[in-house]
Chain A
């Protein structure tokens, strides 16, 4: 990148002003420095990235070929045995059905976020207040959310009393059966992540030039038309990014079900299962293999999705 721009700059000066005195070529060391500058700036982030992302991943991949139990000084290389076990035991993949609940929830979440983002990008009363309300849950620590919602779903807890106010006498254990537990947990996850999607959408919508709406209004477009022909195509890249994030998020749900139910009553997700394999049954090797497989699945989903929805340039003109 730097090399080509430099050359282009040299060419431009050479062509434009043939009579002007040539600028003295920078000394070697200076040029070396200039080439190294971006890398110097990158040193800190790269070091962090390597130490805290790539090194652990490399370690994890290495462990996935061993029978390590997580603490013993002895570990044996077992080849692809862990992967073979993973793919021959169907019960390890059954937990992905649980992700279906979160996937369904994320569809709802994206639609709701889009709706609120669109409304709040126009002039609405208490606009900033509502923005805050919607974004606030995302700022709360996930562990705290888990505990708060435990009280919320408790027998005679917040949800039951609120429903009681409206005259709906419910007498059910919200986390009692696999269906209702998963639905409840997925609802919590909507509540938590709606804000993030909302902010992404809002940012994208606000980057659309305001004249377009004016022009559209002059042409007689109503709000729906504006959304359909200006906003939706305008935020397409963010929309597809959100979809990718939602899918990979649904496959790797962890903290909310882990804190609230610990994976009991059919709410175990793939990551909870992996954590249990590693820290409860001390099968760090197998768990690493499971984590690698999840990583590959997420990468594959992203790749397929990129293929289906290519990242076009946005052109609203």
Chain B
């Protein structure tokens, strides 16, 4: 009896203490750029998801290079494998490094609570891409050190063998090309990477490239992404048709991302929808598998507006300065140097965040074909995210596309129209409930 009352009391006390959330923290701090590099000092910790670059010493090389300009700053790296999961929990404390990549889970409106501002958007957007992805009330809180452009990674040799010389310009044409690949070669025309899930989320990045509209994100926030003719519906319909026509791997449920890379390099897989960021990985896989890295090609989504292809520039993780950092100047110095001078974007064959920088060599085919690179207006990005979470659809998550693939290969019953219209209904209803 006694023991029970004690326990109940302890539980009650814990319940009460649990209810008091963390208090509001300082808000609106700024990380100013230093005037004199030789005076900036301090030890800073940089949290990064690039465990590979920390392990092979590339990051150390960057730090050494950085120290030539900023001799008094000591940079330490904290490589985190499960970046999202771990940093999210660490952000409940004040100890989350000095410089970090902003986890996707953090809501935009909370940025000023967690990160120091880097300056006004009006100022920064003159020089940098992707500033509106982290802008709250006119101030910028993060900067992506590199960008990517979505596209189909394809094996040029296989496509040539199938007798295709030009990029398809409509989804129907693309489908015919995949059929030709299936008929004339031994390759799997398209690989879904269903089991690893995240490759399916890449399809959302089609948004903007069909309509060639830099307000594509705003249209997600205000309209129905699955309305007839909308970009996302076009993408999802095409994915459905590819799977429905049997142009994918035989058993999508046991795919393997790491194994898919050498397969594409060797021509066992013809196509995958990923992005320009994947080219360097595929080329690496090609070298390892003894195939020709030059066979890896990049092609835009098969849709044209007024005779030109469009592709959307996408930022990577945005780097930010911890608002609780004791060495904000040093942290800011690292962030700026890493963005402007490190050559990180070039090393990754990626799009530079500097507007003045030329397109990377990987994008040469895009440049030659006159593909228009769009910078999406992300003012409504936060609204899209909250509709997405609230409705549990997961437009940036794999689940609904897995259901779509299951539907297409008849593992589940139903029609495509019902499925997409259902998503649209859920989305617009949530939109209304959030708006009210």
**A69-B107 contact in complex given A265-B402, A277-B392, C-beta closer than 8 Å:** yes
Nearest CB to that of A282 among chain B residues? Answer: B389
Q: Which residues of B contact A282 (CB under 8 A)?
A: 105, 389
> Which of B9-17, B227-235, B260-268, B312-320 interfaces with chain A?
B9-17
Nearest CB to that of A91 among chain B residues? Answer: B392
A173 and B250 contact, CB distance less than 8 A: yes
Closest 8 CB pairs of A and B: A175-B253, A58-B14, A155-B251, A62-B18, A173-B251, A264-B402, A154-B254, A59-B18
Interface digits, B223-259 against A, CB 8 Å rule (1 contact, 0 not)?
Answer: 0000000000000000000000000011111100000
Q: Which residues 191-216 of B have a CB within 8 angstroms of A?
A: 194-195, 197
Q: Which residues 132-187 of A have a CB within 8 angstroms of B?
A: 150, 153-155, 157, 173-178, 181
Asked whether A280 is an interface residue with its Cβ less than 8 Å from the other chain, the reply is: yes
Most-contacted residue by chain B among A58, A77, A155, A277 (CB, 10 A): A58
Interface digits, A42-76 against B, CB 8 Å rule (1 contact, 0 not)?
Answer: 00000000100011011101110000111111110
Asked whether A100 is an interface residue with its Cβ less than 8 Å from the other chain, the reply is: no
B412 and A157 contact, CB distance less than 8 A: no
Asked whether A302 is an interface residue with its Cβ less than 8 Å from the other chain, the reply is: no
Q: Beyond A55-B14, A281-B390: 8 further Cβ-contacts under 8 Å?
A: A54-B10, A71-B92, A74-B110, A175-B253, A175-B254, A176-B252, A177-B411, A262-B197
Nearest CB to that of A63 among chain B residues? Answer: B18
Q: Once bound together, how far apart are the Cα atoms of A55 and B22, in whole Å?
A: 17
Q: Which residues of A contact B399 (CB under 8 A)?
A: 263-264, 276, 280
Asked whether A261 is an interface residue with its Cβ less than 8 Å from the other chain, the reply is: yes
* Shortest Cβ gap from B13 to chain A (Å): 9
Asked whether A283 is an interface residue with its Cβ less than 8 Å from the other chain, the reply is: yes
* Shortest Cβ gap from A254 to chain B (Å): 16
Q: Provide a sorted-by-A list of 6 A–B residue pairs whose CB atoms are within 8 angstroms.
A: A50-B10, A70-B88, A72-B110, A150-B254, A176-B411, A178-B411
Q: Which residues of A contact B360 (CB under 8 A)?
A: none
Most-contacted residue by chain A among B106, B251, B388, B397 (CB, 10 A): B251
Q: Which residues of B contact A74 (CB under 8 A)?
A: 21, 110
**A73-B105 contact in complex given A58-B14, A155-B254, A181-B253, C-beta closer than 8 Å:** no
B113 and A58 contact, CB distance less than 8 A: no
B195 and A261 contact, CB distance less than 8 A: yes
**A58-B15 contact in complex given A262-B197, A280-B397, C-beta closer than 8 Å:** yes
* Shortest Cβ gap from B49 to chain A (Å): 17
Nearest CB to that of B393 among chain A residues? Answer: A281
Residue of A72, A153, A261, A266 touching B107 (CB-CB under 8 A): A72
* Shortest Cβ gap from B239 to chain A (Å): 15
B14 and A59 contact, CB distance less than 8 A: yes
Nearest CB to that of A286 among chain B residues? Answer: B392
A283 and B389 contact, CB distance less than 8 A: yes
A264 and B406 contact, CB distance less than 8 A: yes
Asked whether A122 is an interface residue with its Cβ less than 8 Å from the other chain, the reply is: no
A157 and B254 contact, CB distance less than 8 A: yes
Interface digits, B89-116 against A, CB 8 Å rule (1 contact, 0 not)?
Answer: 0011000000000010111001001000
Interface contact tally, CB-CB below 8 A: 113
**A281-B92 contact in complex given A62-B19, A155-B254, C-beta closer than 8 Å:** no
Asked whether A279 is an interface residue with its Cβ less than 8 Å from the other chain, the reply is: yes
Nearest CB to that of A62 among chain B residues? Answer: B18
Interface digits, A251-295 against B, CB 8 Å rule (1 contact, 0 not)?
Answer: 000000000011111100000000011011111000000000000
* Shortest Cβ gap from A256 to chain B (Å): 14
Q: Which residues of A contact B288 (CB under 8 A)?
A: none
Residue of A73, A150, A155, A176 touching B21 (CB-CB under 8 A): A73
* Shortest Cβ gap from A198 to chain B (Å): 29
Q: Which residues of A contact B92 (CB under 8 A)?
A: 71
Residue of B18, B254, B403, B409 touching A153 (CB-CB under 8 A): B254
Asked whether B25 is an interface residue with its Cβ less than 8 Å from the other chain, the reply is: yes
B105 and A71 contact, CB distance less than 8 A: yes
Nearest CB to that of B392 among chain A residues? Answer: A281
Asked whether B71 is an interface residue with its Cβ less than 8 Å from the other chain, the reply is: no
Q: Which residues of B contact A281 (CB under 8 A)?
A: 388-390, 392, 394
* Shortest Cβ gap from A258 to chain B (Å): 12
B411 and A71 contact, CB distance less than 8 A: no
A279 and B254 contact, CB distance less than 8 A: no
* Shortest Cβ gap from A299 to chain B (Å): 15
B105 and A265 contact, CB distance less than 8 A: no
Q: Once bound together, how far apart are the Cα atoms of A69 and B7, in whole Å?
A: 29
Asked whether B85 is an interface residue with its Cβ less than 8 Å from the other chain, the reply is: yes
* Shortest Cβ gap from B1 to chain A (Å): 12
**A54-B14 contact in complex given A70-B105, A281-B392, C-beta closer than 8 Å:** yes
Q: Once bound together, how far apart are the Cα atoms of A72 and B252, in whole Å?
A: 37
* Shortest Cβ gap from A184 to chain B (Å): 10
Asked whether B57 is an interface residue with its Cβ less than 8 Å from the other chain, the reply is: no
Interface digits, B396-426 against A, CB 8 Å rule (1 contact, 0 not)?
Answer: 0111001100100101100000000000000
Q: Once bound together, how far apart are the Cα atoms of A75 and B92, in whole Å?
A: 13
B22 and A73 contact, CB distance less than 8 A: yes
* Shortest Cβ gap from B278 to chain A (Å): 21
Residue of B15, B91, B389 touching A61 (CB-CB under 8 A): B15
Q: Which residues of B contact A68 (CB under 8 A)?
A: 21
* Shortest Cβ gap from B429 to chain A (Å): 13
A266 and B253 contact, CB distance less than 8 A: no
Most-contacted residue by chain A among B85, B388, B409 (CB, 10 A): B409
Q: Which residues of B contact A262 (CB under 8 A)?
A: 195, 197, 398, 402
Asked whether B358 is an interface residue with its Cβ less than 8 Å from the other chain, the reply is: no
B85 and A279 contact, CB distance less than 8 A: yes
